[in-house]
Amino acid sequence: MSAASLPARRQARVNGTPQFSAGAIRCLVNALPRLERNVILLRYGFDGPELPPAAVAYALLVSEEAIEAAEEQALEILRVQLDRSVTERRLAA
């Protein structure tokens, strides 16, 4: 999914930073590779309580190191996508 396909609706800015809707964030998370997506969903409580890395590792049958690496990779992907979306909107304005 490209950043350009994010829903256009945003919430208010907080300290000058655009706040994206939960639906927009969910779309980006759903587009992540399977391991990264599952790690983010479990670690940040999208579908239940937030879980620590050890619990996520147990649930997904992988090492804690793999969980930490997948989380780092997923957050970087999300950061890039959101930054790109903000830049595209500023250029379009």
CATH of the domain spanning 11-92: 1.10.10.10
Give me the mean pLDDT over the 54-83 stretch.
97
SS3 82: helix
SS3 11: strand
User: Could you tell me the residue ranges of all domains in the chain?
Assistant: 11-92
**Exposure on the CB side of residue 50, measured as CA atoms within 13 A:** 3
What's the pTM value of the predicted model, to 2 decimals? 0.78
pLDDT confidence of residue 33: 97
Beta bridge partners of 13: 18
CA distance 50 to 72: 16
Q: What spatial distance separates the first Cα and last Cα of the chain, rounded to whole Å?
A: 22
Percent of the chain with pLDDT over 70: 81
